[in-house]
Structure 1
Amino acid sequence: MCARPTGVVAQPLENGEDTHLDTIHLAAITDTGQLLADAEFRTTPTGYWAASVWARSFGDVPTVGV
């Protein structure tokens, strides 16, 4: 799992999600397609919670693509 990069300013973004049996992989991208960060989480209640917190650490999440 990677943390939010230092100096990244909250901005409109989209989250891409790649789901698997044991993990989910999220990517945070700007509305212009710039990759901000990505991270992998376990498919457990704690993992889903951590993924949600991670995604929202970049600001509002108006769109999520799976």
Structure 2
Amino acid sequence: MSIKELIIHEIEQTPEFLLQEVLDFLRFLKLKDKSQTLELYQVSESSLQKDWLKPEEDDAWQDL
């Protein structure tokens, strides 16, 4: 049985009053993942920016 199937099985056996908390937690985890991805992009941008601003980079991309 896959993880998704196990989760669905557990959800089907969960009392209704707990489902809102499960939903909130799942949304929190997804948002946290997006936030960490955005942070990684921002850190990468600042570290690569010094290379992007070199004249050689402009030359390399000018034919695109």
More helix by share: 2
Does the alignment reach a TM-score above 0.5?
no
Place the TM-score, normalised by the shorter chain, in its bin.
Answer: under 0.3
TM-score of the pair, normalised by structure 2: 0.24
TM-score of the pair, normalised by structure 1: 0.24
